[in-house]
A and B are shown apart, each in its own frame.
Chain A
Amino acid sequence: MSCRLRLCRAMTLIELLVAVSLGMVIIAMAWTAFVRANSSAARAMVRVDLHATAAVVREYLSRDLANAAPALAFFARSIPQVAGVDAGGAPIRTDTVEMVFMCQASRLEDEMSTGEEQTRKSEFSWVRWRFRRTWKEVAGAWTPVSGALYRSISSPARNWVPKNTLVPPVPVPETYPPNAANTPTYLLTPPIAKWTNYGGRTYMNLPRPLRDASQGIESLDNNRYGTPVAHTTEDIGDLADLDSPDNDRLVSNRIRDFAIGWQDALGGAEVVASSAAADHRIDGLYLDVTGPAGNDHAKQLGARPRVTRVAFNLADAKTGVSQDFSFSIALPGIQTQMGR
């Protein structure tokens, strides 16, 4: 009987209150720890994701810059705060920071041997990295609301060179523009390059769009050597290629700011950032010492980037986590003295 009574006895009110209170306190502590740990985990995962994205951007850009031959043209410019409207007709502003350079999109370093016939093959393309940021008016103030980084590449010009024709029959004078009557230029197939003699050695001048220093990136259409032409099969791609929606590929839409800089061969430095308008054009000329007026070759050669710098900010809108990144990528050539 006493056993049955003990089994049937419920808790007293005090016991129940003590148990409930103790349980609530412990559960609240555990729940707080859980929420904090969960929140930290979410932020950590976002941070790892941002770092992974930054690593991809750096790796992708490094690959392009590593293929940029030092003789080729290089553009960088920024166009801040351009007024416009969005799809709904609301006023917006856009920042643009972009870098365009010619690179060997694919190359076969070794000569391919097919019996007696040997050839070298290269594919030259324009590569553009472009950051675009959109501003909207929020509570009377212009506020950046989104940003994205794109990369595009033009259609390549295939450049097959029979080995036996690598040395031009007659050295080409070092002058420009070439005298068509007296200067035997050696055009490849398609005719996109010219040989020149410099210091007893033979070099190939690659096409570049900046004979006319007044032209900017839009002059990519004028990339036949020395002769502006419309888009033809002789082009190494053109601006339309880079602007094609099918070509302009999104790299990251978590990017909130972007800047480009470089250390040139003479130790000077340049910065192209979204905060101020800038326009830098480095000629693709390699050995044309006596170029036309306004095209100082020595200056252009010295202005070639040896180290290219990028700085960007990646952010996650949901968690508010953001991280600044800065990478420097060496280009072909001896590294200049820095930190002077």
Chain B
Amino acid sequence: MIHQTGMRQAHHPIRAFTLIEIIASVLLFVMGTMAIVGVIILGLGTARRAQSDATAWATAMSVLKDPMPMGVVSDRGTGTLAPWTWSQSGNAWSASDGSSDPVWKYTAWQIGQDSDVLVADMRNPIANNPAVFPGGAPIAGCARGFLNGYYVERREQSRASDRIGALVRIVEVRVDVYWANFAPGSDGRPLASLVDRVVRQGTP
């Protein structure tokens, strides 16, 4: 009987997995799963790039024409959005239209100025970033905020030589679009960046 059993085991060895084999199997499974996770994360990166391709440039072109977009649909404002003003005494910015729109701010400028106006250096947004809304006197012609899931900065500049008439002048506009988690003042490449010249006319 013992002999018969031994013969059967010799021809068909019945052997359980060892600890090493089981651990190796589990590790293989985990590696496979993590590989899938890695592929998914890679896909997420691709998806983000696709998203930026879809609307970052459209957002830049939109803001290029309009420093006062409607913004968040549930806080669309009154349509007569007043500029944010700097209160020296209160040491804070405030919106006089009462909307207190937290996502978009801009500062006004006068079309009739006969000197160079607006942002001093709009070519270096990172260096100038803290100056867009400084803790002091307002710099005109700047807008920034969150729009369409992005963080957007916009500068409008016009020189004395850009004046065509009393109420018409050319302005140079720069728009930079970043991911929404972009921290102002930090380094980072914009998803979209545009510079263009626009003719503006004032109210007669």
Contact = CB atoms under 8 A, between A and B. Distances in A.
A259 B76 contact: yes
A97 to B, nearest CB: 11
B73 A18 contact: no
A8 interface: yes
Contacts of B168: 334
Given A8-B9, A37-B41, A339-B141, A58 B69 contact: no
B111 A313 contact: no
A123 interface: no
Contacts of A47: 47, 51, 149
A305 B187 CA distance: 38
A311 B71 contact: yes
Contacts of A44: 43-44, 47-48, 51
Contacts of A270: 79
A329 B58 CA distance: 10
A58 B70 CA distance: 14
Interface in A312-340: 312-313, 323-330, 334-340
Given A52-B54, A334-B199, A11 B16 contact: yes
B122 interface: no
Interface centre among B10, B14, B33, B73 (most CB of A within 10 A): B73
Interface in A1-49: 4, 7-11, 15, 18-19, 22-23, 26-27, 29-31, 33-34, 37-38, 40-41, 44-45, 47-48
B191 to A, nearest CB: 12
B200 A324 contact: no
Nearest to B26: A23
A273 interface: yes
B69 A257 contact: no
Contacts of A210: none
A51 interface: yes
A338 B78 contact: no
B33 A326 contact: no
A324 B47 CA distance: 18
B201 A339 contact: no
B22 interface: yes
Interface residues of B, number: 71
B44 A41 contact: yes
Given A19-B22, A31-B33, A326 B71 contact: yes
A340 B54 contact: no
A112 interface: no
A271 B70 CA distance: 9
Contacts, number: 205
A223 interface: no
Given A7-B15, A22-B23, A330-B65, A30 B74 contact: no
Q: Is the interface of B mostly helix, strand, loop or mixed?
A: mixed
B51 A48 contact: yes
Given A326-B69, A338-B67, A30 B30 contact: yes
21 contacts: A4-B6, A23-B22, A26-B27, A30-B29, A37-B36, A37-B40, A47-B149, A51-B148, A54-B58, A269-B68, A271-B76, A271-B78, A324-B71, A324-B72, A325-B55, A326-B72, A326-B73, A326-B147, A328-B69, A335-B198, A340-B83
Interface of B: 6, 9-10, 13-19, 22-23, 26-27, 29-30, 33-34, 36-37, 40-41, 43-44, 47-48, 50-51, 54-55, 58-59, 62-63, 65-74, 76-81, 83, 106-111, 141, 143, 147-149, 156, 168, 198-204
Q: A-B pairs with the 5 shortest C-beta distances?
A: A328-B66, A271-B79, A311-B70, A10-B16, A30-B33
Interface of A: 4, 7-11, 15, 18-19, 22-23, 26-27, 29-31, 33-34, 37-38, 40-41, 44-45, 47-48, 51-52, 54-55, 58-59, 257-259, 261, 263, 266-271, 273, 307, 309-313, 323-330, 334-340
Given A40-B40, A271-B79, 13 more contacts: A4-B9, A15-B19, A33-B37, A51-B51, A51-B54, A309-B70, A324-B72, A326-B70, A328-B70, A334-B200, A339-B68, A339-B143, A340-B109
